[in-house]
Amino acid sequence: MVNRKKLGIVGAKVLLVDDSDVTLHVIKSYLTHHGYSVITASSGKLAIELAGKESPDCIVLDLMMPDMQGDEVTRRLKADKELQYIPVIMLTAKSDRETIINCLNSGANDFITKGYDPRVLLERVNGQVRMGKLQKELQKINAVKDRFLRMASHDIRNSISCIKLLTGSVIDGLEGPVSEDQMDVMNRIQHQTNTMLNLLNDILDVSVITSGELKIKPKPHSIADVLKEAFEGFVPAAKAKSITLNWAVPDNISPVTFDYNRIMEVTANLLSNAVKYCKPGEQVELGAKAMEEEVQVWVKDNGQGIKEEELPSLFNSFERLSSKPTGHEKSTGLGLSIAKQIMDLHKGKIWAHSEYGEGATFIFSLSI
């Protein structure tokens, strides 16, 4: 080697994957010379295994391999929660448009065509290793922020629960007589307190779920039971807005395995939306049907619906779209993201279709 200075990120770990021993040898020598610690794999399967065991800072991956192509390896890495942030640079023999689009589409962070200048490869690796390190830093900071948010929400929730208890005791007459005006003020305090408690519960839910700490407790239950409980909870709100709630759940669906409280939360979030985004006189239906391998539950309304271009971001956190509450209800944009994450924990699905102006249908499914 002509250049004696180490131009790599000394000590960073690179996983090099190629079915050609010669390529492995040449790139390994070059990267090692510049300070990288290099491990090698001669197949896609081995690469995925080593990525899990060795946590490399970057993966340099050949596209054409006999057992598993590089784009498939990348797809699997990017679908794995533990491995998805490891940067992948794809090595391709071809440089045509289709090949490059395919590489990037599979989730590769960068690509380089074979016959490259080794120095260019080194700089690409340096760039990706730097990005990966920044990503790790961000994740750490994010985890600290989540923990802080959780602690703060938890403590604030305790104080607000106290205010709720104390105002409740005045409203119930336990603290002696109050005037009509004072009662009106107390009722308003209690209403605001409930709104704050709901918001804090949602924030806590999101933070517990995203930190991976929410564990569900699935057991066999009747789907009709959980849906009935959620449905009944919304009868007063629907009545207050003159919205008709229709029940379309058969009694004879065999028990399904799920976490009762969490599936009730999903159903309640969907019903709450339907009632919130419908106007007086409109209709909401809660229904279910058993299919061959799953039970599907739907909440269907004939309200304002959702714009087609907004459907893909429906389940993102804090996503409030063009459809607005019709009765001054609060809208934080958390309900559907919580529902989606609960369904993911159940290995179930949740999706929606809508014709803007004609209403929306939300469906979730649980395997039998």
Residues that bind ligand ATP (CB under 6 A): 202, 269, 273-274, 276-277, 301, 303-306, 314, 319-321, 323, 330-337, 360
- Considering only the stretches 8-16, 74-82, 218-226, 331-339, report the one whose residues sit in contact with Mg ion under the rule CB under 5 A: 331-339
- Count other Cβ atoms within 10 Å, centred on residue 301: 26
Tokens of 252: 């004879």
Q: How far is the CB of 144 from ligand ATP (least distance, A)?
A: 24
Query: With CB cut-offs between 5 and 8 Å by kind, which of ligand ATP, Mg ion, none does residue 209 bind?
Result: none
Name which of residues 224 to 283 contact Mg ion (CB under 5 A): 273
Instruction: Tell me which of ligand ATP, Mg ion, none is bound by residue 231, counting a contact when its beta carbon lies within the kind-specific cut-off of 5 to 8 angstroms.
Output: none
285 binds, among ligand ATP, Mg ion, none (CB under 5 to 8 A by kind): none
Dist. CA 209–CA 338, nearest whole Å: 8
Least separation in angstroms between residue 315's CB and ligand ATP is 7
Q: How far is the CB of 332 from Mg ion (least distance, A)?
A: 8
3-state secondary structure of 137: helix
Any alpha helices (H) in 211-259, and if so which ranges? 223-240
Of the pair 99, 272, the CB lying nearest Mg ion is at 272
**Cα gap 17→92, rounded to integer Å:** 12
DSSP calls for 296-312: EEEEEE-SS---GGGGG
* Number of chain residues interacting with Mg ion (CB under 5 A): 2
* CA–CA distances in Å: residue 63 to residues 45, 48, 95, 283, 342: 13, 14, 12, 53, 36
- Write down the least CB distance from residue 345 to ligand ATP, Å: 17
Gap between the Cα atoms of 263 and 364, Å rounded: 10
Q: Judge whether 31 and 54 are in contact, CB under 8 Å.
A: no
Q: How far apart are CA 282 and CA 166, in angstroms?
A: 38
Task: Please give the Cα distance from 16 to 18 (Å, whole number).
Answer: 7
335 is an interface residue for Mg ion by CB under 5 A = yes
User: DSSP readout, 240-283?
Assistant: HTT-EEEEE--TTPPPEEE-HHHHHHHHHHHHHHHHHHSPTT-E
Write down the least CB distance from residue 239 to ligand ATP, Å. 18
Residue 106, interface with Mg ion (CB under 5 A)?
no
Q: Is 361 in the site for Mg ion (CB under 5 A)?
A: no
Q: Which is nearer to ligand ATP, 35 or 333 (CB)?
A: 333
| Element at 126 (helix H, strand E) | helix 118-171
Nearest approach, Cβ of residue 316 and ligand ATP (Å): 8
Report the partner that residue 16 touches, choosing among ligand ATP, Mg ion, none (CB closer than 5 to 8 A by kind): none
Q: By Cβ distance, which residue is nearest to ligand ATP?
A: 335
Q: Which two tokens stand for residue 74?
A: 């990348």
Partner that binds at residue 348, options ligand ATP, Mg ion, none, CB closer than 5 to 8 Å by kind: none
User: Of 18 and 265, which has the nearer Cβ to ligand ATP?
Assistant: 265
Give the DSSP H or E segment for 157.
helix 118-171
Least separation in angstroms between residue 85's CB and Mg ion is: 30
Q: Which is nearer to Mg ion, 190 or 198 (CB)?
A: 198
Q: How far is the CB of 206 from Mg ion (least distance, A)?
A: 13
Q: Which tokens sit at 164? A: 């709720």
Binding site for Mg ion (CB under 5 A): 273, 335
